[in-house]
Amino acid sequence: MSSRSKKPEPESPCPECPDGTLERTIVSRTYKVEGRKVRVDGLMPDKCNRCGALVWPEAEARRAREAVALKLRNAAA
């Protein structure tokens, strides 16, 4: 068993402001779909530490879409 520690990922620059960097955060979002509100907790976009802009990596955006679809299916059942 190795005791190697994982190197921290380099900070990414914010696409919205020149001085900010992105950090992973956990948020809840409410989406309005087909006239219904669907809340999804535990999403993990990147957030600028300066301006607060949220940047959604494709994998996390896909996870949010899948969670909304699942909640809509379960509500219809």
How far, in Å, CA of 40 to CA of 70, rounded?
A: 10
Indicate the pLDDT class of residue 28, thresholds 50, 70 and 90. very high
Give 50's Cβ-side CA count (13 Å radius). Answer: 12
Right CATH number for 18-76 from 3.40.50.2300, 3.40.640.10, 1.10.3720.10, 3.10.20.860? 3.10.20.860
pLDDT, tens digit (0-9, with 9 covering 90-100), for 29-77: 999 988 899 999 999 999 999 999 999 999 999 999 999 999 998 887 7
Total residue length of the chain: 77
Distance of CA 43 to the CA centre of its chain: 4
The answer to whether residues 71 and 38 touch, using CB atoms and an 8 Å cutoff, is: yes
pLDDT, tens digit (0-9, with 9 covering 90-100), for 6-23: 444 557 899 999 899 999
The ranges assigned to domains in the chain are: 18-76
Global confidence as pTM:
0.73
How far, in Å, CA of 31 to CA of 22, rounded?
A: 23
